[in-house]
Structure 1
Amino acid sequence: MKLKTIYAALIFLIITACSQPEELTVEQTETEIDAEIIRQEAPPEPKEEETTITIGAVGDVLLHERVYVPAETEDGYDFMPMLEKVGPLLQEPDFLMANFESIPGGVEIGLSTYPSFNSPHEIVTDLQSLGVDMAIGANNHTIDRGVRAVESALDFFDEVGMDYVGVYRDTADRETERIVTIEDITLGVLAYTYGTNGIPIPEGHEDIVALIDPDRIEKDVKALREKVDILIVHMHWGDEYIHEPNQKQRELAQLLSEAGVDIVFGHHPHVLQPIDLLEQEDGHETYVFYSLGNFFSGQNFEYTDIGGLATIEVTKTTKGEDSTINIHTPDIEPTLVVLEDDVYSVMPMADSEGSLINGVTTEETREHIWKYLNESE
């Protein structure tokens, strides 16, 4: 009986000892407390970063003989004296495009004027030195002088590092997407024209110039839309010398907006047309600059001496992996082509007393530019 009691006591002691919690050392306790604090601390809030760039475009660069002859020098052509007054204005955008309406095919194939244009190469490098980054080549004068002039112009663009769109060497060139990155903001650019003044598209060069085809435009926009932050389309459209967009322009602008285009720059009327804002049911917005007028030309009709630098700002806000895009502050700063001593030059309209052809002032011009936006407020 006594032996059984001893065995029972031993078993009780063993069971009690096994059930006691393990005593932690000071070092173990502190380590586990630190780990618990780390687990409980929230991750740091991602820093919000904001980037804003300015996109710019100017209208028709259409060099008549009376424009390029005074620019001739002993060893070529120099347009800088004609453009220097507007130079500081062109430096303002972070990315600037210009509509090269007269193909800059160079002197080797012979310069020519209205109605079949071919301009000196030097207009490209002079505008490039003032800030132009991309040549818009889709217009009704693109193939005035045929494939040879186009290829000469494209060779020169490549030689000097000028991007181009709307005019192409071949199908492969056209299918090469024009995507530009400016300070971490990606821009996609397309360009189209209503026609080529009745000149047939050369056989074997079906993609030499991009024509306005709604189905093709929608296809191009869809392919580019998801790859860029901002999608820009240049349209050569409208009625010459008319100050308001026609019905076809409005319909095409609506098509572009519905397809997801952010900014539309228009060319061809040779006069300024207003800016508009199109809003879709899904919340998408498109700014439309219906016509930028003439930037540099020898046209002397009413209002054809007035063009402008179109600008619009894009702000990208990034927080962690999320980002938002805001397009804002659209404007056109009017420019003026002035004829003095048989020399055409371009200047900011604000630096003048107004148009010498029709007497229009800068204030009146700006009222016209903002007509639609003011009406929608």
Structure 2
Amino acid sequence: MPYSRVQSKQKAKRKRRFPIVAIAVLAVALIAAVGAYAAFVAGNGDGGASPPPVSSASSSASASAGPQPSGAAASPAESSEPAETPDSAPTSEPDDEGQGEPSDEETPAAPSPSTEAPAATPDAGTAEPSDSAPSGASVSLAFVGDILPASTVGKLIEQYGVDYPFKLAKPLLESADIAAGNLEAPITTRGTPAENKQYVFKGKPEYLAGLKNAGLDVVSLANNHTLDQGWEGLSDTMDALDDIKLKHMGSGADDKEAFEPVYIEHNGITVAYIGVSNVVPDGSWKAGPDHPGVAETYDTTRAVATVKKARELADIVVVMVHWGNERADTPKDAQFNVGHTLIDAGADLIVGSHPHVLQGFEAYKGKWIAYSLGNFVFTTKQAYSKTQDTGVLTATCTADGKCRLKFDPMYAKASQPGPMAPEQAEALLARLSKVSYGASVDSKGRITAK
């Protein structure tokens, strides 16, 4: 069941409202009791006339105040006992992360008995929280490019172990609250190889442990290699990911499953991940009502609808898109068009893959597009190539969808990405700044809008 901001707001509202009502009831009871006592004193001072029965005064006060919960109209002696309102000052309940509620959400303590009404707290029982997350809360999202646990990388894994490709990048990935990447190969021991393709990949299920151990939490399967081994291979891939509890999106047994977002909550903030591809080798790879495949975005209608739906359920909407031309330093028109369309629909962050090289960033309407994060763990054929320039993009986002971006440059040697030498990193960041749009990248990797 997807986490909903609406559900969270209703829960927080109920938690605050009941203690306020209890305080109000206690105040009415105190005023009624004091009134009865005052009437008694006044009666004795007027020549010893018999005081009105206490029950009559209590009934009058109750009638003027309207119906009250059972036990609210107590006598003066009873009203001084705080035990009569046990829920008036609870300690803050732990949330799903085991942390207390924020201070502005805590219920005020019960006042001591007094003849005065409690201090006014305007709208205390009706004000909605501005968001489901604690005030000032944020979530850090790490992203990497293409991951290929197959081919030459598979041979290296066989030789050095499943953790080998991610050994040097693991600390950075683990430091993020949620980490995501593009899984560029079917994971299966079966399948029928796709025809008329130059590169057809296939990785072993045990290789996925390396991704999980490195700190990855979610992967997109919407790309041009997901069906390299047919539906049988894709089905096995999804099952293998489920077995190790690594979330995935962008593919499915039909279009409904393929377009379904992944929702992950952290620190009270819900992030929706959507996977779509603008690179589909064959029309038969597109998921349909009764047909397995990938979520495509040649026609953005379905992707836009998915983003709009996710916008209603999540605080932050991320779309991971496979698009562009291989080894091109700059985006093509379709990337601009699709990226802008998805942000206009409600996405907060677009992260691209497929070109195998890094492309620039764009600040668009207060949101962000990373056009290509290039390869992360992939095969290499040359001693040095731009396809080995890579890195980790980290977006630190608040519940209102505002994100601060930072890119940590890395260089992949023998399919193992690691931190770049300072001079090399500075040169790469300068190049990325030059090819960005409405944005700049400084020497620390911080990405800002111009």
- Range of TM-score over shorter length: 0.7 to 0.9
Scaled by the length of structure 2, the TM-score of the pair is 0.65
- CA distance in 2 between counterparts of 1:70 and 1:231 reads 35
Q: Aligned pairs, how many? A: 327
Partners of 2:431 and 2:416 in 1: CA distance: 23
Q: Does 1:190 align with 2:271?
A: no
The equivalent of 1:235 in structure 2 is: 321
Cα deviation code 1:127-161 (max 9, x no counterpart) = 11110001110001111111111011111111111
- 2:149 is aligned with 1:149: no
Question: In the aligned structure 1, how far is the partner of 2:205 from the partner of 2:339?
Answer: 33
Report how far residue 104 of structure 1 moved. 2.0
Superposed, 1:74-223 pairs within 5 Å as 78-105=161-188, 107-109=189-191, 115-174=199-258, 176-198=260-282, 200-201=284-285, 206-212=291-297, 213-223=299-309
- Structure 1 runs not aligned, ≥5 long: 1-20, 280-284, 317-324, 355-360
State the one-letter code of the partner of 1:303.
Answer: K
Query: Which amino acid counterpart does residue 216 of structure 1 have in structure 2?
Result: R
Q: Against the structure 1 CA distance between its residues 39 and 275, is the aligned structure 2 distance closer, same or farther, given a 3 Å change threshold?
A: same
What residue identity is the alignment partner of 1:241?
A: R
Which residue does 1:9 correspond to in 2? none
What's the CA shift for 1:194?
1.4
Q: How does 1:1-377 map to 2 (within 5 A)?
A: 23=42, 37-42=116-121, 49-63=135-149, 65-72=151-158, 78-105=161-188, 107-109=189-191, 115-174=199-258, 176-198=260-282, 200-201=284-285, 206-212=291-297, 213-279=299-365, 285-300=366-381, 302-316=385-399, 325-339=400-414, 344-349=415-420, 352=421, 361-371=424-434, 372=436, 373-374=439-440, 376-377=449-450
Superposition deviation, residue 176 in structure 1: 4.4
Q: Any idea what SS the aligned residue of 2:172 has?
A: helix
CA distance in 1, matches of 2:283, 2:117: 74
- Per-residue CA deviations over 1:165-214 (Å, capped at 9, x if unaligned) read 00113345336442111121011111111132236338986342111121
Deviation by residue 1:31-88 (Cα, 9 ceiling, x = unmatched)? 8xx7663255446989973212101111001345222113226xxx823133211211
Could you tell me which runs of 5 or more consecutive residues in structure 2 were left unpaired when the two chains were aligned.
1-39, 46-56, 58-75, 77-112, 441-447
Counterpart secondary structure, 1:103: coil
Larger radius of gyration: 1
- Cα 1:49–1:70, aligned 2, differ >3 Å: closer, same or farther? closer
Matched-pair contact (CA < 8 Å) for 2:201–2:228:
yes
Structure with the bigger percentage of strand: 1
- What percent of counterpart residues are identical? 23
Q: SS at the partner of 1:272?
A: coil
Amino acid at match of 1:248: A
> CA RMSD of the aligned region, Å?
3.4
Contact 2:361 2:369 in 1 (8 A): yes
Structure 1 residue 269, shift from structure 2 partner: 0.7
Separation of aligned partners in 2, 1:180 and 1:111? 33
Q: Provide the C-alpha distance between the structure 1 equivalents of 2:199 and 2:283, rounded to a whole number of angstroms.
A: 12
